[in-house]
């Protein structure tokens, strides 16, 4: 039997900065708040951190998309690193955490500080959500599209909202999925956010509110799109042999999913009803004997509501094409349902912490610290998944 090497890694601490709309704070300060909180949470000190990982690292392609890169955090904390890695070409935002797991499994590092930092709310200011190539997101006079945007921007297709909307539309067409069903991703998120003091949108939302919201890109309305915030999240990945005697019981990394077996493309993926996440999810189950029915809580990326539905299908919580009926009514995905989903409110209501928020919440739930939103029955297995379109990655965590 082959060894599943990521099981040499575990999560030993988590941290998060203040989270909010237009905090106006220095993004490196937010990042360091999260990093220092995670180090302390693990019961470590900074001199024991010998690895550093982040997504996307230093990045200028979109306003506020990256609050700090490896270099700034490394230097600000005067870390003594044996290994570090930052970059945007990864299996989703959690690809950076998977890199950290691989690094500790290989013995390149013992305690890796992983972080994701955004300040999109402040950076985008009062002007609303920016699209790629326009509105301060890499555009400007004379700007010409190239790379992955070359075959999107010339068609006035400026945002992942447009691209994921087309995936959702194809799903609606093939499987009869409806907006009334998809609404429950947003309604469930808001219901849970009401119990999360750090969530940015906590007022109750009804189905009528959802259906009455302005359209962004059909079939997505405003409430299908996550909300840009300022905030940073950090987690500590430790080698299991170094995790004993720390402050918390370590959370095991049972399996990760990083595959992308189809084309890395928004418009030329082989199945227009799903995305790269299909392959990441398949790989995760190839690396464990646990099954979807063993999962107690699911924290699944909701940059757009439909992405969560695609993750539900890909991870096998429902059948292919069945996510609409599965989420409709919101009972199955409620805190007391068969698979509690996005228990903190997701990015739709708690704020777009961009992937790491889901991993953070999975750890909160497994450590039983969810407060009013804590899933009952002392959950032992959680899945965290991040990414949509041509990126996706996921992790299955367990508490001993």
Partner 1 sequence: MSEKPFRVLPRVTDLNRHFWTGGAQGRLQFLRCRPCGSYVHPPAPVCPACLSRDVSPSAVSGRARVATFTLNHQPWVPSPDHPYAIAIVEIEEQPGLRLMTNVVNCPAEAVRIGMPVRVLFEPYDDVWIPLFEPADA
SS3 143: coil
Decide the pairing of beta strands 251-257 and 51-54: unpaired
d(CA 228, CA 215): 18
How far apart are CB 133 and partner 1 at their closest, in Å? Answer: 4
Is the Cβ–Cβ distance between 131 and 265 less than 8 Å? Answer: no
The CA–CA distances, whole Å, from 94 to 40, 90, 123, 175, 332 equal: 22, 8, 23, 30, 26
How far apart are CB 222 and partner 1 at their closest, in Å? Answer: 9
How far apart are CB 157 and partner 1 at their closest, in Å? Answer: 5
Q: Which is nearer to partner 1, 233 or 273 (CB)?
A: 273
Residue 262 CB partners (closer than 8 Å, separation 6+): 269, 270, 271, 276, 278, 279
How far apart are CB 151 and partner 1 at their closest, in Å? Answer: 6
Q: Which is nearer to partner 1, 216 or 382 (CB)?
A: 216
Q: Which is nearer to partner 1, 25 or 320 (CB)?
A: 320
d(CA 201, CA 179): 21
How far apart are CB 131 and partner 1 at their closest, in Å? Answer: 4
Exposed, middle or buried: residue 286 (CB in 10 Å: 0-12, 13-18, 19+)? exposed
Decide the pairing of beta strands 111-119 and 51-54: parallel
Q: Which is nearer to partner 1, 78 or 144 (CB)?
A: 144
Q: Which is nearer to partner 1, 266 or 356 (CB)?
A: 266
How far apart are CB 59 and partner 1 at their closest, in Å? Answer: 19
Q: Which is nearer to partner 1, 76 or 272 (CB)?
A: 272
Q: Which residues bind partner 1 (CB under 8 A)?
A: 129-131, 133-135, 139, 143-146, 150-159, 161-162, 165-167, 169-170, 173, 214-220, 266-268, 270, 272
């Amino acid at each position: 039997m082959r060894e599943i090497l990521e099981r040499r890694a575990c999560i030993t601490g988590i941290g998060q900065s203040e989270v909010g709309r237009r905090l106006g704070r220095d993004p490196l300060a937010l990042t360091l708040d999260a990093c220092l909180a995670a180090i302390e949470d693990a019961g470590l000190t900074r001199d024991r951190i010998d690895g550093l990982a982040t997504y996307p690292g230093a990045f200028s392609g979109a306003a506020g998309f990256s609050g700090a890169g490896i270099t700034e955090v490394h230097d600000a904390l005067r870390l003594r690193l044996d290994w570090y890695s930052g970059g945007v070409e990864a299996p989703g935002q959690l690809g950076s955490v998977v890199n950290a797991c691989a690094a500790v499994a290989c013995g390149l590092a013992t305690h890796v500080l992983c972080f994701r930092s955004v300040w999109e709310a402040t950076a985008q200011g009062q002007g609303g959500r920016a699209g790629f190539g326009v509105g301060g997101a890499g555009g400007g006079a004379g700007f010409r599209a190239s790379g992955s945007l070359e075959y999107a921007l010339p068609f006035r297709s400026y945002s992942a909202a447009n691209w994921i909307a087309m995936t959702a539309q194809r799903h609606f067409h093939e499987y009869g999925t409806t907006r009334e069903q998809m609404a429950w991703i947003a309604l469930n998120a808001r219901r849970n956010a009401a119990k999360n003091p750090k969530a940015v949108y906590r007022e109750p939302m009804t189905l009528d509110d959802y259906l009455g919201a302005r359209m962004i890109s059909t079939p997505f309305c405003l409430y299908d799109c996550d909300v840009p915030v300022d905030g940073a999240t950090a987690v500590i990945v430790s080698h299991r042999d170094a995790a004993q005697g720390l402050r918390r019981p370590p959370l095991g990394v049972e399996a990760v999913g990083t595959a992308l077996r189809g084309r890395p493309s928004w418009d030329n993926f082989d199945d227009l009803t799903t995305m790269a996440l299909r392959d990441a999810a398949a790989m995760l189950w190839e690396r464990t004997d646990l099954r979807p029915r063993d999962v107690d809580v699911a924290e699944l990326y909701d940059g757009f509501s439909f992405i969560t539905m695609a993750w539900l299908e890909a991870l096998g919580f429902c059948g292919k094409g069945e996510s609409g009926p599965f989420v409709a009514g919101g009972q199955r995905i409620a805190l007391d349902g068969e698979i509690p989903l996005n228990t903190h409110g997701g990015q739709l209501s708690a704020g777009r912490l961009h992937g790491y928020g889901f991993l953070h919440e999975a750890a909160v739930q497994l450590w039983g610290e969810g407060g009013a939103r804590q899933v009952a029955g002392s959950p032992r297995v959680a899945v965290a998944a991040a990414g949509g379109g041509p990126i996706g990655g996921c992790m299955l965590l367990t508490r001993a």
